[in-house]
Structure 1
Amino acid sequence: MEIIRGNEIIKYIDELGYFRIEIFKDFPYLYQGNMEYENKYLSRYSNSSESILIVLKDQEKLVGVCTGIPLKDEDKEFIQPFQTDNIDEIFYIGEVMVREGYRGQGIGTKLLSTMLNLVDQSKFKTVCFYTVDREDNHPLQPPNYKSPESLWNRLGFFKDPVKIVYYPWQDINSTNETEKPMNVWIKQL
C-alpha cells in the first residue's frame, strides 16, 4: 500500500482516471467517462496540499484506490450540503474503489480504515462521502449486486436523511449528462 499526498498525486492522475472510468462504468454509477473530464476533475487532488491518495497494487496493476481531499477544495456541488457548517473541518472521501475480482477480500475496508486513520490524525472533525442514489429495481442492477452500506455503517458512517447532492455525469447508454441524486454519508471524528 502506498500513500501519496498533495502535488505528488500528479504522477498518478492518468492511471487513476482510467481506473475511475473502469470502476464507475459498473452499477450503481453507470458512468460514461472520458480522460478529458478525468484530468480536469482529478487535478484538484494534485493542487491541494492536503489531499491523500492511497494506492494498492498487485504487481503493477491497480487493485484498490481511496482518494480524499478537504471539502473546501471540492466542487461547489459537493460543498453545498455543508454551507452552514465549518467546511475547513470537513474532509471529503472522493472514492473507495476495488477492482472486480479483488472485491470481498477486505481491500475496501483496509483502504477506508487507512484513510480514516490518516484523517483522524489531522485537524478535521468530520469525514463525508457521497453515493449515487439509484432506484431499487434499476434495470442495470446486476442480480448479484451487494451494496457496501454495511461496511460504511460498520466504520461509523451514517447516511444523513436531510442532506443530498445533485451531480451531473453521462450514463453509459446515454448521449447527455443528467443530474443524479447522491446520498451524503457522515462520520464524526
Structure 2
Amino acid sequence: MTALRLTTVTGEALRPHLADVARLRIAVFREWPYLYDGDAAYEERYLGRYATAPGAAIVLAFDGDRAVGASTCLPLAEEGEAVQAPFRAAGWDLGRVFYFGESVLLPEYRGRGAGVGFFVEREAHARRFPGIDTAAFCAVMRDPADPRRPAGYVPLDAFWRRRGYVPAPDLVCTMSWKEIGAAEETPHELAFWLKRLPPEAA
C-alpha cells in the first residue's frame, strides 16, 4: 500500500486542481451526513475563490498522480457572510480566526493518516499569519434518529477531539444545498468546533 502524498497549494497554482477538488466534493458529500446533490459547474465557481482569496490554501492528497482527497482553509475574514455571522454576533474579532472548510477523502483511502495530515497541514499554514490564534470548522447537525442515517455510522466527534477541537455551542451557521432526491435547496444548520493555535516555536 503506497503512502499518500500531501501537498499544500496556494494562489493561481490551485487552478489546475479545482476540477479534481470539485469531483471529490461531489463524490464524498453525497454520503451521510451531507447528502449533497452536487453540480460540477457550481463547484468550480465556488472553489475558484481559493485561488484569489488572500491566505487561502488547499491541501491535496495524492495517490501517485491522482488526487484522492482535499482539505481547504482560509482566513475567516475572507469567508462568506453565512460563516462569519455567528462569530460577529458573538463579538469575535474575525482577524483572529482561520476557517477550515471541507475535508474530503475517497472511502478507499480512509484510515491511512490523511485526515490527521489535513489538520496538521492546515494548522501549520494558519500559524504563518500574524494575529491568528484560533482554528474553526463547522459540521452539519443531523437528527440521530433520521431514517437515512446508515447503520453503524460513527460520527467524527472523537477524532476531532483527539486533534484538540472542542464544540462551540453558541456558534451555529446556516447553509443551503440541494439534497439527493430534493427539488430545491433547503437550509441546514452547522455547528462549529474550535481550537486554540499557539504560535509556532521560534
Partners of 1:33 and 1:20 lie apart in 2 by 8
Computed over aligned residues only, the root mean square deviation of the Cα atoms, in angstroms, reads 1.3
Taking structure 2 as the reference length, the TM-score comes to 0.89
Deviations 1:7-47 (A, max 9, x none): 32122111111110001000011000102221221111111
Question: In the alignment, which residue of structure 2 is the partner of 1:145?
Answer: 153
Question: Which position in structure 1 is the counterpart of 2:187?
Answer: 179
2:159 counterpart of 1:154: no
Runs of 4+ in 1 over 3 A off after TM superposition: none
Question: Does structure 1 retain, via aligned residues, the 8 Å contact 2:8–2:121?
Answer: no
In the TM superposition, residue 76 of structure 1 has moved relative to its aligned partner by 0.5
Q: Which amino acid is the alignment partner of residue 87 of structure 1? A: L
CA distance in 1, matches of 2:74, 2:147: 33
Other-structure match for 1:113: 120
Larger CA deviation: 52-61 vs 128-137: 52-61
- Matched AA of 1:42: L
Q: Which runs of 5+ in 2 are unaligned?
A: 1-5, 198-202
Q: Deviations over 1:115-136 (max 9, x none)?
A: 1122123321111111000110
On the 8 A contact 1:64/1:108 being kept in 2, the answer is no
The TM-score with structure 1 as length reference comes to: 0.95
Selected match of 2:93 from 86, 107, 122: 86
Q: Say which one has the larger Rg.
A: 2
Query: What is aligned with 1:68?
Result: 73
Distance 2:114 2:11 in 1: 23
User: Residue type matched to 1:29 in 2?
Assistant: Y
Question: SS of the residue aligned with 1:101?
Answer: helix
Out of 50, 55, 79, the residue aligned to residue 60 of structure 2 is: 55
Alignment match, 2:13: 8
Q: CA deviation at 1:86?
A: 1.2
